[in-house]
Amino acid sequence: MGTLTLAETQDLHTNFYTFEGVVRALNGVNVVVQQGETYGLVGESGCGKSVTVRSMMRIVQAPGRIDSGRIVLFLNDQERARGIEIVQRTETYMESIRGSDISMIFQEPGAALNPVLSVLEQVKESYQFHRMEQMIEETLAAMDAERSRRRRGSLRGAGAVIQAALLRKELAATRRFDERVRRIDNELYQLETSSDTRSEERKADLNRSRDHARPRTGIVAVARRIPFLRRYRRRLDATVRAHVVELLRTLGIPNPENIVQRYPHELSGGMAQRIVIAIALACHPTLLIADEPTSNLDVTIQAQIVELIKELKRTIISSVLFITHDLGLVAEVCDRVTVMYAGDVSETATVRELFRNPLHPYAVGLLASVPKAEQAEELAMIPGAVPNLIAPPTGCRFHPRCPRRMDICVREKPDTVEHTPGHWVACHLYTGKDGGHA
Amino acid sequence: MSLLSYIIRRLLLMVLVLIGVSLLVFTVMMLLPPGQRVAAYVTNDRVSPAQMDAMIAKYGLNDPAPVQYFRWVRNLLHGEFGYSITASSPVIDGFVRFFPVTLGLVLFSAPLIILVGIFLGTLGAVRKDTPTDHFTRVFAIVGYSLPTFWLGLLLMMIFYGFAGIFPPGTVSNDVRNIIYGEGYHQYTHLLVLDGILNWRWQVVGDALYRMVLPTLNLVVINSALIMRLMRSSMLESLGQDYMMTARAKGADRKTLFRRHARRNAMLPVITVSGLTFAGLMGGMVITETIFDRKGIGWWMAQAALQLDVAAIMFNVLFLGTIYVVINLIVDLIYAYVDPRVRLS
């Protein structure tokens, strides 16, 4: 098709090991997000939309676990050819790409912000985790500019020299640390993917030295704790703060200097969601995952947030993965869409194609249950409820609720077939395996 | 400035609380016959019945209750707290003698109790369902359910009885000679602090040495509650949505636990820590009795047994003050940690 893949999952199984039993939340999910598209993930509550994207960021909460499958990212040109497989990657590596290359915004903006930290403290972290080098360099550059403007030899000048020296130290330490972690991480990844059984000891060694690696050592670690020397941190903080304020301004937040000092409980829902978006966008991610970002907002605010995301899609982010149960929203913002049901991918197509020609009985039912303005008769609905995923239905998980159920649906999980180019469906009506009607 | 006015308002409120407490205590004391209440004015052992009646008349112990109450309050305001038979001295002298013993132990053990509780509670939450977690939980349940006196006696038996280390009491005789000897100034009456100020390390060492067992006893018993609370509160904040946001922006484990979870989890712990601290100030009756430390708790117990009216009234008022002040401090800390709390 000439499009480039940005992220894909292959046969992803994520299970939750609860007290009642194993919840098989994802049953072999295949999802492909392409460069530059807005990709929708639709389905009822509990169908595995959120678990899919959390798996993609590897932030599935305990007792959940990715049990099998691959998640491959093609984030930059170096990795373009093979992609990086992240299920095997170390946690440190994941920390480095979360918030930097892939970010996420959440359903409930009020709960997604930490109540005891100010807006500044929360947005700042995105820069602190991923853009420290840049921040220090900018601070140094600003100090240089300032010095050339002022006469030499003054007492304040001497203080600035010390501060600059400490900043340079910190910069070197940050680089050293990043380089070291990257090196350890790469070696671990090599060991993990190779089948060498003697590598266990080396792996343990590497893990240990990574855990003990500290971002700051020597003079910097000491200077940070001494009140007088610590002043250089203030300059750094000022740089980060300027970035935060600027970011909030680009997101259309009025009076950002004031907002950064506020705490989450002082913000309206729409404003809180903008802050959550700011946190996610601080480092200009390649992929933004939006997990039902508007479901808990007022309708007018919803429209503003959707507009904002569309706008950001044009300017900053390459691709958006949009989760929602609102089909109207899908029609408005998405290019392609996948319908999920009970941990299975039912159907994937472009939005036009899906709305015009839904194939899977579940997708058909879902579309029929959207109220329309000219509608006079009663709203169609899908009978039954989402199954319990501790003991999911055999075969196709939709079969107990399916109006077009066949014998084979009970026995066998349908393969995903490409019905027409770009239109994929997982249903026995289209696999060619006809078992006859039940 | 709103902070200052808040503190002033709270302190004024404290006066009301103290009036309430004093009324309550006074009412209870009025249930005693005048013949027993007169003890607060008797300063020697040999008093004849006739003298007693004379004193009852003199101090107006048969007057109507309100009259007596106001007289008592007026005496308090003039700094006349009466005579304590259990301390064999005026109440205020007894207080100066007993209180530093209690305060010394509280200042030493309360931070340990709180730190141990927070540390083990956090550890249990972070390593949920691992052997570490199970260990801390067992420790908490055992600590919480052990009777104070039983653990105290056990510690005493094992360490002092069998091993001969960590003797009871506040100081050894040698050290007592130093304290009451030439050239030693009791600036604060706190043994450790005075020892340092007088540059007598023997005093400091001995005082600390004898605080080990009572502190251990208090830590095991009292940190259990804080530990349980910290664990559950930490688990709760680890499950919150904002932790997901923090992970999604790339926070490492250390930042997640320390910055995002622990700060929220500390909120209920602050309240309970304050109450624990206040409780220790007056409630160490058993610990002080077992380890032979003559502090406020011990004095209160003696006073209650011997109906030492003046001492009981004074100490109850004092504890009321302590509770109010500590609650005020807790509220201030709370407002500092949690921006949602407004002081108004």
- The pLDDT value recorded for residue B86 is 85
pLDDT at residue B134, rounded to an integer: 93
The answer to whether A100 contacts B246, with C-beta atoms less than 8 Å apart, is no
User: What does the pLDDT look like over B69-116, one tens digit per residue?
Assistant: 888 888 888 888 888 888 888 888 999 989 999 999 999 999 999 999
Interface of chain A against chain B, CB under 8 Å?
54, 57, 59, 61, 91-92, 95-100, 103-104, 106, 108, 111-118, 122, 125-126, 129-130, 263, 265, 276, 279-280, 282
Looking at residue A438, its pLDDT comes to 39
pLDDT at residue A113 above 90? yes
Q: How far is A129 from chain B (nearest CA, A)?
A: 7
Q: Residue A437: what pLDDT?
A: 45
How many Cβ atoms sit within 10 Å of the Cβ of residue B169? Answer: 14
CA dist A43 and A387 (Å) reads: 13
How far is A8 from A3, CA to CA, in rounded Å?
Answer: 13
Q: State the amino acid at position A124 in one-letter form.
A: K
- Confidence band for B32, pLDDT divided at 50, 70 and 90: confident
Provide the shortest C-alpha distance from residue B236 to chain A (in Å).
13
**Closest residue by Cα to residue B211 from B103, B301, B119, B114:** B103
Residue A436 binned pLDDT confidence (cut-offs 50, 70, 90): very low
Give residue B243's pLDDT band: very low, low, confident or very high (50, 70, 90): very high
Phi-psi region of A210 (alpha: psi -120 to 50; beta: other; left: phi over 0): alpha
Pick B343 or B182 by higher pLDDT.
B182
pLDDT of residue A153: 54
Predicted model pTM: 0.83
pLDDT of amino acid B227? 94
Confidence band, pLDDT 50/70/90 cuts, at residue A304 = confident
Query: What token pair was written down for A318?
Result: 């390459």
Question: Taking CB atoms and an 8 Å limit, are A95 and B246 in contact across chains?
Answer: no
pLDDT tens per residue across span A133-151? 888 888 888 888 877 776 6
Asked if B339 lies within 8 A of A118 by C-beta distance, the reply is: yes
**Residue A179 binned pLDDT confidence (cut-offs 50, 70, 90):** confident
Determine the Cα–Cα distance for residues A417 and A434; give it in Å rounded to an integer: 14
Distance CA B227, CA B172 (A): 35
Of A61, A98, A118, the CB nearest to B249: A98
Question: What is the mean predicted confidence (pLDDT) over A177-195?
Answer: 76
Greater model confidence, A177 or B329? B329
CA–CA min distance B327, chain A (Å): 21
For A116, the closest of B250, B251, B339 (CB atoms) is B339
Contact A57, A104 (CB under 8 A): yes
- The band of B185, judged by pLDDT with boundaries at 50, 70 and 90, is confident
pLDDT score at B170 = 82
In angstroms, the Cα distances linking B32 to B63, B306, B307, B319 are 14, 12, 9, 22
Predicted pLDDT at B153 = 92
Q: Which amino acid is at A136?
A: I
Instruction: Give the best residue of A50, A116, A266, A277 to mutate against chain B (max B CB count within 10 A).
Output: A116
- Could you read off the pLDDT of B35-70 as tens digits, one per residue? 777 777 776 767 788 888 888 888 888 888 888 888
Q: What is the pLDDT of residues A74-86, one digit of tens each?
A: 877 665 567 788 8
The pLDDT of residue A154: 56
Contact A106 B250 (CB under 8 A): no
State the pLDDT confidence band at B317, using cuts at 50, 70 and 90.
confident
Length of chain B: 344
Look at residue A195 in the predicted model and tell me its pLDDT: 64
Phi, psi (rounded to 5 degrees) for A294? -120, 0
Q: What is the pLDDT of residues A272-299, one digit of tens each?
A: 998 999 999 888 888 999 998 888 788 8
- What are the extents of the domains in chain A? 5-116+286-391, 119-244
Q: Which residues of B touch A (CB under 8 A)?
A: 239-242, 244-253, 255, 259-260, 263-264, 337-340
Find which of B126, B240, B242, B341 to mutate to test the A interface (most A CBs within 10 Å of its CB): B242
* pLDDT, average across residues B207-220: 91
Residues B151-170: pLDDT tens digits? 999 999 999 999 888 888 88
The mean per-residue pLDDT over the stretch A347-370 comes to 89
Which CATH class name applies to A5-116+286-391? Answer: alpha beta
All residues of chain A having their beta carbon less than 8 Å from the beta carbon of residue B236 are: none
DSSP-assigned letters across all residues of A160-222 = HHHHHHHHHHHHHHHHHHHHHHHHHHHHHHHHHHS--GGGHHHHHHHHHHHHH--S--THHHH
CB A36 within 8 A of CB A318: yes
- Say if residue A262's pLDDT is above 60: yes
| From A265, A279, A282, residue closest to B245, measured CB to CB | A279
Whole-angstrom distance, CA of residue A401 vs CA of residue A378: 19
- Distance to chain B for A417, nearest Cα, Å: 34
Confidence of residue A155 (pLDDT cuts 50, 70, 90): low
Nearest to A125 among B241, B251, B253 (CB): B251
Query: Does A280 sit within 8 Å of B251, measured CB to CB?
Result: no
Residue A1 has pLDDT above 50, yes or no: no
- How many Å lie between the alpha carbon of B6 and the closest alpha carbon of chain A? 22
> Using one digit for the tens of pLDDT, what is the confidence trace for A190-234?
777 666 666 677 777 777 776 666 666 667 777 777 777 777 788
Average pLDDT in chain A = 83
> Where is A349: in which H helix or E strand?
strand A344-350
Residue A80: predicted pLDDT: 58
Question: For A232-235, which contacts have Cβ atoms below 8 Å and span 24 or more sequence positions?
Answer: A232/A162, A232/A163, A232/A164, A232/A166, A232/A167, A232/A170, A235/A139, A235/A142, A235/A143, A235/A163, A235/A167
CA contacts within 13 A on the Cβ side of B168: 16
